[in-house]
Chains A and B, each alone.
Chain A
Amino acid sequence: MENSSLVTIAEHSKEKILYMLEMAKQFEMNPNRRLLQGKVVATLFFEPSTRTRLSFETAANRLGARVIGFTDPKATSSSKGETLKDTIMMVSNYADIIVMRHYLEGAARYASEVAPVPIVNAGDGANQHPSQTMLDLYSIYKTQGTLENLNIFLVGDLKYGRTVHSLLMAMRHFNPTFHFIAPEELKMPEEYKLYCKTHQIKYVEHTDFSEEIIADADILYMTRVQRERFTDLMEYERVKNVYILRNKMLENTRPNLRILHPLPRVNEIAYDVDDNPKAYYFQQAQNGLYAREAILCDVLGITLDDVKNDILL
């Protein structure tokens, strides 16, 4: 069963990524298709994540499936000491597919090995969050018209931010140039720089975040610099206002530039940016719906052709 589950998109081929984006595009044209009618989707959130859960549940509902699940692990038997395996085996009796968020890393991989139904990883600790990566890719593809040869600037917490790591790996097929903009304490880890080298991905590192540096960006991917990540709070105080995007910094940027953010934001994007047409983070979240509809269909064996031919219902 492991093959049909979605644990990570790190292993997805270029063709598979483009195929999934094409499917997401079909769902954007018409999100309401009863392709999963009669199916039951379980959403098991061992860790709360309102945004991701609502997006998956909306996707399931718009595909005509019914949804069961829990949103608070305190109310479930895992708080009584039940193993993950037992919970997964029990839910597999009821559902055709399990969407799972877990606070432990590797939980989705393990669940996919024991479950008789496909698992969709909706985030496992700091490890993987493939549906986020898929919606990031779809947002880039949609706004730029291509994934090829783009200048992608990653800003903020590049050390712990799993979304930037996954995006970096997924983009390896498309000849990007990355710019890593981060304070010293939150720099891109060596293992990812090594990954860039072995996959011939070009990258430049900066500690300054200024108008000049972002002048030739196609994508500006902002992340939150979190206080709790710093061992030296003096350092945090020094850098906390350095990695804030303000509207006036966007004056001389490229017309095709779009600003992405996985959300929730705190203060790293000033509110005066919201009205700039280059701000794209709310539409980005909406793209999550289409990306997740595509993911649910794909793991259940529904093909792009099935989606395109869905005119009967």
Chain B
Amino acid sequence: MSENKQELQVAALKNGTVIDHIPSEKLFTVVQLLGVEQMKSNITIGFNLESKKLGKKGIIKIADKFFCDEEINRISVVAPHVKLNIIRDYEVVEKKEVQMPDELRGIVKCANPKCITNNEPMATLFHVIDKDNCIVKCHYCEKEQKREEITIF
């Protein structure tokens, strides 16, 4: 029953993007990474919804907003298997999964306290060296970090 209702809500979006299958505990990080607070359009955020795959999931529906790959791929660090539904005129015209980008600029904090990026007012830069296992390497101190160790600003 709840599943039907959700579908109904998705279908209610005329034009825009539905970001689905966000693990619940990552929802607000994703909200922050996408800058949802600053958006002016009609936005629905669902939290702790039931999901067969994830147990609990989050969902974000944003009217009249279409992300470019660079914008959306930022969230892959925290939520790698998120699904995007692009809606135009009430129809899902495209489904895609977020991809790890090759570089992460200004998103991840370096875990090395002796890294220059933690001691100088500057943006961090990480190279993604293993997309499947989400291993990133600091451009500056050259230390590698695994997904579990990654902290977002």
- For residue B138, which residues in chain A have a CB less than 8 angstroms away from its CB? 106
User: Would B144 and A85 count as touching, CB distance under 8 A?
Assistant: no
The smallest C-beta distance from A79 to any residue of chain B, in angstroms, reads 14
Given contacts A104-B116, A191-B144, are A109 and B121 in contact (CB under 8 A)?
A: no
* Cα distance A8–B141 in the bound complex, in angstroms: 11
Q: Can you list 23 A-B pairs with a CB-CB distance of less than 8 A?
A: A83-B120, A83-B121, A84-B116, A84-B120, A85-B120, A104-B115, A104-B116, A104-B119, A104-B141, A105-B112, A105-B114, A105-B141, A106-B139, A106-B141, A106-B142, A107-B140, A110-B120, A110-B122, A124-B116, A125-B114, A125-B141, A126-B114, A128-B142
- For residue A106, which residues in chain B have a CB less than 8 angstroms away from its CB? 115-117, 138-142
* Cα distance A102–B119 in the bound complex, in angstroms: 12
* Cα distance A110–B117 in the bound complex, in angstroms: 9
In the complex, chain B residues 96-153 whose Cβ is within 8 Å of any chain A Cβ: 112, 114-117, 119-122, 138-144
User: Would B119 and A127 count as touching, CB distance under 8 A?
Assistant: no
Given contacts A103-B114, A104-B114, A125-B114, are A109 and B120 in contact (CB under 8 A)?
A: no
Given contacts A125-B114, A126-B114, are A105 and B142 in contact (CB under 8 A)?
A: yes
Which residues of A are at the interface with B, using a C-beta cutoff of 8 A? 8, 83-85, 102-107, 109-110, 124-128, 191
User: Would A109 and B115 count as touching, CB distance under 8 A?
Assistant: no
* Cα distance A107–B115 in the bound complex, in angstroms: 8
Given contacts A104-B114, A104-B115, A105-B115, are A127 and B120 in contact (CB under 8 A)?
A: no
Interface size class of B (residues with CB under 8 A): 10 to 19
- For residue B141, which residues in chain A have a CB less than 8 angstroms away from its CB? 104-106, 125, 127
* Cα distance A85–B117 in the bound complex, in angstroms: 12
Which residue of B112, B140, B144 is within 8 Å of A110 (Cβ)?
B140
* Cα distance A110–B120 in the bound complex, in angstroms: 10
The smallest C-beta distance from A307 to any residue of chain B, in angstroms, reads 31
Give the nearest-CB partner of B112 in chain A: A105
Interface centre among A8, A109, A110 (most CB of B within 10 A): A110
* Cα distance A154–B136 in the bound complex, in angstroms: 28
- For residue B139, which residues in chain A have a CB less than 8 angstroms away from its CB? 106, 109
- For residue B114, which residues in chain A have a CB less than 8 angstroms away from its CB? 103-105, 125-126
